[in-house]
């Protein structure tokens, strides 16, 4: 099986402050890769480098290579907008568009890119995406209600549906459950299990139990460097590095 | 509870009474201040109603001004003129103002941004008569005629900094997470700005626009030597045009009792016109404004 994403010597800066130092790792297709580590270790920066969202922040830049199916997304002449359509992102806080209905939120990615699809096609995409995001049954009768009128957990699944609607290859999730209660978290985690049948998922989490529950591979980041990377089960049972063991057993972080 | 609980409870009760008194004073003070702010508005409106309402009738809205001594007549041309001038000012000023505001909010961290911001602030403070002279020099002199265009241009220049600065503030309030959400879906930055950021800030921007419109609707000075005024219907936008503030000014300084009454009526109509436009725009955009800012 070839790797979906191949990260080679990735460095990232905010101004002159280097937050990622020479990270290399591979992401398997149709699997979940978790990024764990203490606050400020560069987890979010790392995942934002994977779809070129890092450089949106003024003063931020990155070097190195990220190969998506073998093609470098940092190669000159590559349009970051195209990259982000293939590598979708779900953010820490649910962020549906407040001026749009649930329906419009799901197809926002298509509409904002000037799709010529008919309303009927769009309705099909909305139903498919919401079903995939396990939200359809809860909102099918109020598709025209505002995207922010539903609960936080539903909003986050709406954001996942919105990402699915543009049919990306990879879905990046930046602590998708950190603003959710345990029940909503459980729903999103179940959803991640479903989605990995079809998509490649990279998830940042500071909740180690969550990493253990949802991921196949785990990377441990500390102070901007990759300390250890391997199958989740091995990382959690027999970590090779002392820092990893200390973090996992709760001695710091 | 512990033995110390009782004295504590006693002193709490005492300070509670004190706090209630303070709270009452603060609330009362704030209420009085609110009244003081609202009072002038009520007084102005009331006085206008008393003075102007008696001169209002159908012909005021449908007829041209009559020569001195002839009873009746109206300000139909001035009402249409004011609406025309405001429309011209909006067409010229709003796109530039809103887009400049968006630029300042999204890319205004540069030296260019602070320069534009400074210029806008200075422009806000420029007396409107100076802007009138500016429009006179720039448009009236080269074209050899007073015109609605010149008047609309002068008003647009006055609107520009107000619209720019309020748009900037409102766009700044849009959370960056919404921008990132759109960018993360593979939406280009310009579409994100137009369809997500501006749409979210819409309510606030419209409020700013209404403030600017209300401000210029009552301007007299910059129109004196640009739009000039007209006792008849205006003949196209390239000729002189009448406006309510100017008609009010002319009538108010005249020695005729009849014209004074017409001036009061004109002032009342102007005020109602501005209030109604604000109200209508607010009602039309309420659904969106409420959900966001």
CATH number at residue A97: 3.40.50.300
Residue from A95, A115, A171 to probe the interface with B (highest B Cβ count within 10 Å)? A95
How far is residue B249's CA from residue B244's CA, in Å, rounded to a whole number? 8
Q: Which of A88-102, B60-74, B169-183 has the lowest mean pLDDT?
A: B60-74
Please check whether residue A253 lies inside any domain of the structure.
no
Distance from CA of B199 to the nearest CA of A (A): 7
Mean pLDDT, rounded, of chain B: 88
Please check whether residue B110 lies inside any domain of the structure.
yes
Here the CATH number for the domain that contains residue B120 is 1.10.3720.10
In chain B, how many domains are there? 1
Please check whether residue B98 lies inside any domain of the structure.
yes
Q: What is the pLDDT of residue B281?
A: 82
User: What confidence tier does B56 reach under pLDDT thresholds 50, 70, 90?
Assistant: confident
Q: What is the pLDDT of residue B290?
A: 42
Please check whether residue B36 lies inside any domain of the structure.
no
B200:A109 CB<8 A:
no
B-chain residues within 8 Å CB-CB of A166?
Answer: 185-186
User: In which domain, by residue range, is A201 found?
Assistant: 5-248
Q: What is the pLDDT of residue B278?
A: 83
Residue A51 backbone phi and psi in degrees, to 5: -130, 25
- Give kind and range of the element (H or E) at residue A231: strand A225-231
> Which single residue is written with the structure tokens 């921008």?
B179
Residue B145, exposed/middle/buried by CB under 10 A (0-12, 13-18, 19+)? middle
How far is residue B113's CA from residue B164's CA, in Å, rounded to a whole number? 12
User: In which domain, by residue range, is B185 found?
Assistant: 79-291
Q: Is the ipTM of this complex over 0.85?
A: yes
Indicate the DSSP class of residue B195: I
Q: What is the pLDDT of residue A27?
A: 94
Q: Residue A236: name the closest of A225, A222, A226, A247 by CA.
A: A247
The pTM assigned to this predicted structure is 0.81
Give me the residue from A98, A109, A114 closest to B291, CB to CB: A98
Please check whether residue B86 lies inside any domain of the structure.
yes
Q: What is the pLDDT of residue B167?
A: 95
Give me the residue from A58, A82, A97 closest to B178, CB to CB: A97
Q: Residue A163: name the closest of A225, A221, A234, A94 by CA.
A: A94
B-chain residues within 8 Å CB-CB of A84?
Answer: 183-186
Q: Residue A164: name the closest of B184, B272, B44, B259 by CA.
A: B184
Q: What angle do CA B246, B252, B253 make, to 5 degrees?
A: 100
Q: Residue B196: name the closest of B180, B173, B184, B179 by CA.
A: B179
In chain A, how many domains are there? 1
Share of chain B above pLDDT 90, in %: 61
> Across-strand partners of A63?
A11
**Per-residue model confidence as pLDDT tens digits over B103-153:** 999 888 889 999 999 999 999 999 999 999 999 999 999 999 999 999 999
**Per-residue model confidence as pLDDT tens digits over A184-210:** 899 899 999 999 999 999 999 988 889
Q: Residue B61: name the closest of B273, B275, B278 by CA.
A: B273
**Per-residue model confidence as pLDDT tens digits over A83-101:** 999 999 999 999 999 999 9
Q: Hey, is A217 helix, strand or coil?
A: strand
B182:A99 CB<8 A:
no
Give me the residue from B180, B195, B292 closest to A53, CB to CB: B180
Please check whether residue A125 lies inside any domain of the structure.
yes
Contact of A159 with A129, CB cutoff 8 Å: no
A86:B109 CB<8 A:
no
């Amino acid at each position: 099986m070839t790797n979906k994403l191949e990260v080679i010597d990735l460095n990232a800066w905010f101004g002159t402050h280097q937050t990622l130092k020479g990270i290399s790792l591979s992401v398997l297709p149709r699997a979940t890769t978790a990024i764990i580590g203490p606050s400020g270790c560069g987890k979010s920066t790392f995942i934002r480098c994977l779809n070129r969202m890092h450089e949106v922040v003024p003063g931020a830049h990155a070097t190195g290579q990220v190969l998506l199916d073998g093609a470098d997304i940092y190669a000159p002449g590559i349009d970051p907008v195209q990259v982000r359509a293939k590598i979708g992102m779900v953010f820490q806080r649910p962020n549906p568009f407040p001026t749009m209905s649930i329906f419009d939120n799901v197809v926002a990615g298509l509409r904002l890119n000037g799709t010529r699809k008919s309303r009927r096609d769009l309705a099909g995409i909305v139903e498919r995406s919401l079903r995939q995001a396990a939200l359809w049954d809860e909102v099918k009768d109020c598709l025209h209600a505002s995207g922010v009128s539903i609960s936080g957990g539903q909003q986050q699944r709406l954001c996942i549906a919105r990402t699915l609607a543009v049919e990306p290859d990879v879905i990046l999730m930046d602590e998708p459950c950190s603003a959710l209660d345990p029940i909503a978290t459980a729903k999103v985690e179940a959803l991640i299990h479903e989605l990995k049948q079809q998509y490649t998922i990279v998830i940042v989490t500071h909740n180690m139990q969550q990493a253990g529950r949802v991921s196949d591979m785990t990377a441990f980041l500390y102070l901007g460097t990759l300390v250890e990377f391997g199958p989740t089960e091995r990382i959690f049972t027999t970590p090779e590095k002392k820092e990893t063991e200390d973090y996992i057993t709760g001695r710091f972080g | 509870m512990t033995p110390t609980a009782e004295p504590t409870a006693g002193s709490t009760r005492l300070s509670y009474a004190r706090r209630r008194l303070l709270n009452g004073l603060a609330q009362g003070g704030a209420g009085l201040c609110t009244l003081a702010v609202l009072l002038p508005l009520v007084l102005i409106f009331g006085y206008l109603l008393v003075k102007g309402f008696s001169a209002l009738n159908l012909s005021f809205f449908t007829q041209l001004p009559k020569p001195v001594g002839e009873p009746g007549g109206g300000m139909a041309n001035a009402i249409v003129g004011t609406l025309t001038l405001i429309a011209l000012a909006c067409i010229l000023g709003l796109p530039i103002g809103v887009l400049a505001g968006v630029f300042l909010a999204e890319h205004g961290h540069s030296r260019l941004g602070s320069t534009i911001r400074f210029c806008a602030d200075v422009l806000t403070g420029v007396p409107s008569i100076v802007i009138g002279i500016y429009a006179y020099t720039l448009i009236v002199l080269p074209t050899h005629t007073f015109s609605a265009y010149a008047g609309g241009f002068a008003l647009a220049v006055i609107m520009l900094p107000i619209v720019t600065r309020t748009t900037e503030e409102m766009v700044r309030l849009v959370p960056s997470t919404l921008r990132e959400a759109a960018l993360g879906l593979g939406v280009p930055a310009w579409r994100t700005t137009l369809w997500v950021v501006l749409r979210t800030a819409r309510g606030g921007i419209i409020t700013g626009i209404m403030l600017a419109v209300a401000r210029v609707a009552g301007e007299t000075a910059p129109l004196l030597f640009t739009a000039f005024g007209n006792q008849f219907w205006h003949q196209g936008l390239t000729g002189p045009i009448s406006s309510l503030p100017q008609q009010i000014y002319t009538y108010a300084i005249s020695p005729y009792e009849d014209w004074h009454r017409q001036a009061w009526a004109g002032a009342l109509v102007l005020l109602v016109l501005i209030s109604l436009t604000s109200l209508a725009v607010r009602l039309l955009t309420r659904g969106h404004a409420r959900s966001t800012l």
